Amino acid sequence: MPEEPPKPLPVVHRFIDEVGDTTFYGKGKEVILGQEGVSLVFGMSIVKFGRPIAEVRSEIVALQKQVESDPLLNTIPSVVKRAAKGGFFFHACKDSDDVRTVFLHYLRDLKCEAEIVIARKIHSLFVNKHHGKDDEFYADVLAHLIKNRLKQPRRIVLNIAERGSSTRGRVLDDALAKATGRAGNRWGSADLKAEVVFNVQTPLHDPLLAVPDYLGWAVQRVFEKGQPRYYDYLREKIRLVVDLYDSEKYAGNKNYYDQRNPLTAQNKIGPPST
């Protein structure tokens, strides 16, 4: 008898967005870490939803329309600007406090879980490990974010926020290759059963990206501002935070933060390392 064709892999969706930026230099190759508008960390968040994603997407779309129609909110410049360019969408670092409150309240009750990788922007590491290239830095962080998701036999669709050249196919392929290599070293290449597909989207076209955006932003505030207020409010949604380049805490995985070992204001990083 002919062999039965293999069963199709189950399909799961995860949603990825970044916080901070990969900028290290200003004019004349001057290192400008921590200057106005330049972050001290770059991070990426991946979110799994515990409810049908179509339902969650519809709810977020309804919230966006609520903001657009609310006379107290729809005159805020950031709302006006986005609405005029195709439609309002939530964006944590650019939303006003009033608008953030709308989405934060929604997030607190949303069934989801996030893992977040935070990479301190260390100039010497950027030069020596990433060859001074933003795309290599981005790919390295993304690889760490997805490396532990490659073992299960499934087709995993990574819906990832568009970010200039960093989300071109070449960079995403490089990140997946790095992740596969690291996972293979841990479990053996033969045990990696997942198929990975990248689906590059914009927050305007997929409102679900607002969820990793906000959760990552809440974590970034701890590292950059020493402000755990938003992280504490959303902590039940954040399963794990990895402070990727905190080499002083590698022993015993003390650079891993979860419900038993949460972030605090003490995780605020100091002056930029060179």
For the chain, 274 residues long, give each residue's pLDDT as a single digit of tens: 566 677 788 999 999 999 999 999 998 889 999 888 899 999 999 999 999 999 999 999 999 999 999 999 999 999 999 999 999 999 999 999 999 999 999 999 999 999 999 999 999 999 999 999 999 999 999 999 999 999 999 999 999 999 887 788 899 999 999 999 999 999 998 889 999 999 999 999 999 999 999 999 999 999 999 999 999 999 999 999 999 999 999 999 999 999 999 999 999 997 655 4
Helix, strand, coil percent content, the chain, rounded in steps of 5:
45, 20, 35
List phi, psi (to 5°) of 73: -110, -30
Determine the 3-state secondary structure of 203 from DSSP.
coil
How far apart CA 2 and CA 125 sit, in angstroms, is: 55
Look at the domain 11-59+112-267 and name its fold.
Nucleotidyltransferase; domain 5 (3.30.420)
What residue spans define the domains of the chain?
11-59+112-267
- 185 token code pair: 């070293």
How far apart CA 132 and CA 140 sit, in angstroms, is: 13
Determine the 3-state secondary structure of 120 from DSSP.
strand
How far apart CA 273 and CA 186 sit, in angstroms, is: 30
In 3D, which of 17, 32, 216 has the Cα closest to residue 121? 32
Residue 223: how many CB atoms within 10 A of its CB? Answer: 24
